[in-house]
Amino acid sequence: MAQAEVGDDVFGEDPTVRRLEELAAQRVGMEGALFVASGTMGNLAAVLTHCQRGDEIILGDRSHTYLHEAGGVSALGGIHPHTVPNQPDGTLDLQTITGAIRAVDDHFPVSRLIILENTHNMSGGIPLSVDYLQQVGRLARQQGLRLHIDGARIFNAAIALGRPAAELTAPADSITFCLSKGLCAPVGSLLCGSSEFIRLARRTRKQLGGGMRQAGILAAAGIVALEDMVDRLAEDHQRARRLAAGLRAISGVQVEQDPPPTNMVYFRLDPRAGKTTQDLIQALVKQKVKLTARNPYRMRMVAHYWIDDAAVDRAVEGIATAMAGG
Ligand SMILES: Cc1ncc(COP(=O)(O)O)c(C=O)c1O
């Protein structure tokens, strides 16, 4: 990062950003890519580029874009979210999607875009299969809609399924993926799509205040993320399984997706055990294990580059002690 060659990326003159964008586009099999500050900005720029005010997007009721992106699509784009239930495996039922598509009628918003999330975070990091993605891609094309994939963790999906990422993105018009999270870069995501889509998205990014200047210092870490951090994701998946095996053995703890399909482990505490996630958080701070939770009985832990086997074992031990009342 310190040695990155930089230029003004608002003018498209930062060679390191350009190299990252070319590499990203190539890895996901798209014509172009755009470096953005975050996954949230990538998804928002995608929706604002695909849609006009009053258009409707069809997305899962447990999708990150619907739940955890501060309602940006409505607040900034005047775009109407039409949620359909995420099934337990993170997919959206094809018939339900079809039923959500509006007839052409002045009473209705205009259905414009379907969004899928791969891997699906809230369902436990489940990868969506190539076959399913192709089916949704076909449905979108037949109905004249576009398909965006929130692929924050698309490389986790690719590694878990043993398929190239480009196969998972082929049915989509656009995809966002994150360089942070499992790929370990400090900052940044890529929005990818056709050359024309990326040309338009560049303008959207500028409107969002996301045109960065000498961003090559950040893009340099992104290049390391794509070149060196993808294949090792298999280790994180293995560590998530180690974590699940440890948690499974603790009385009062129930692992949701067991074994975990990728890098994350969601687990629940049996209320009869008399402990909440807050109790665990407080108990483990003393052992320098830092946890977060949004729910008193459900918690997520994610394996990544900085978590080794010993760290997994320390977390399991701490939770076992806390659940036993220590
Ligand atoms: C599935 C998914 N999409 C998008 C994001 C947003 O990424 P960022 O935190 O970089 O805005 C996240 C973040 O956790 C995520 O899990």
The C-alpha atoms of residue 324 and residue 244 are separated, in whole angstroms, by 18
Take residue 165 and report the two structure tokens written for it.
């990422």
Q: Which residues, 6+ apart, have CB-to-CB distance to 58 below 8 Å?
A: 82, 83, 84, 92, 97, 100, 101, 111, 113, 114, 115, 145
Query: What is the position in ligand 1's atom list of the atom closest to the CA of 37?
Result: 10
Query: What is the position in ligand 1's atom list of the atom closest to the CA of 180?
Result: 10
Distance 321 CA to ligand 1 centre (A): 32
pTM for the full predicted model = 0.97
Distance 105 CA to ligand 1 centre (A): 35
Query: What is the position in ligand 1's atom list of the atom closest to the CA of 119?
Result: 1
Query: What is the position in ligand 1's atom list of the atom closest to the CA of 40?
Result: 11
| pLDDT score, position 294 | 82
For residue 223, the surrounding DSSP H or E stretch is helix 216-228
Q: Give the number of other Cβ atoms within 10 Å of residue 312's Cβ.
A: 23
State what percent of residues in the chain have pLDDT above 90: 98
pLDDT of 326 > 80? The answer is no
Distance 324 CA to ligand 1 centre (A): 34
Distance 274 CA to ligand 1 centre (A): 32
Which residue is closest in CA terms to ligand 1's atom 9? 39
pLDDT of 232 > 80? The answer is yes
Take residue 154 and report the two structure tokens written for it.
């698309």
List b or e across 160-190, with b for residues whose CB sees 16 or more CB atoms inside 10 angstroms: bbeeebeebbebbbbbbbbbbbbbbbebbbb
pLDDT in tens, 124-181: 999 999 999 999 999 999 999 999 999 999 999 999 999 999 999 999 999 999 999 9
Distance 64 CA to ligand 1 centre (A): 7
Query: What is the position in ligand 1's atom list of the atom closest to the CA of 38?
Result: 10
pLDDT of 196 > 80? The answer is yes
Distance 53 CA to ligand 1 centre (A): 24
Q: How confident is the model at residue 194 (pLDDT cuts 50, 70, 90)?
A: very high
Query: What is the position in ligand 1's atom list of the atom closest to the CA of 41?
Result: 11
Distance 40 CA to ligand 1 centre (A): 6
Quote the mean pLDDT of the chain. 97
Residue closest to 295 by CA, chosen among 278, 281, 283, 280: 278
Residue whose CB lies within 8 A of the most ligand 1 atoms, among 35, 36, 40, 154, for a mutation test: 40
User: Widest CA span of the chain, in angstroms?
Assistant: 63
144: region left, alpha or beta (phi > 0 left; psi from -120 to 50 alpha) = left
Determine the average pLDDT of the residues in 66-70. 98
| pLDDT score, position 287 | 85
pLDDT of 44 > 60? The answer is yes
Distance 139 CA to ligand 1 centre (A): 26
Which residue is closest in CA terms to ligand 1's atom 6? 39
What spatial distance separates the first Cα and last Cα of the chain, rounded to whole Å? 44
Q: 129, exposed or middle or buried, with CB in 10 Å at 0-12, 13-18, 19+?
A: middle
Q: How confident is the model at residue 236 (pLDDT cuts 50, 70, 90)?
A: very high
pLDDT in tens, 89-124: 999 999 999 999 999 999 999 999 999 999 999 999
Distance 66 CA to ligand 1 centre (A): 11
Q: How confident is the model at residue 286 (pLDDT cuts 50, 70, 90)?
A: confident
Which residue is closest in CA terms to ligand 1's atom 7? 39
Within 6 A (CB) of ligand 1 lie 38-40, 64, 117, 121, 150, 152, 178, 180, 189
| pLDDT score, position 302 | 97
Which residue is closest in CA terms to ligand 1's atom 8? 39
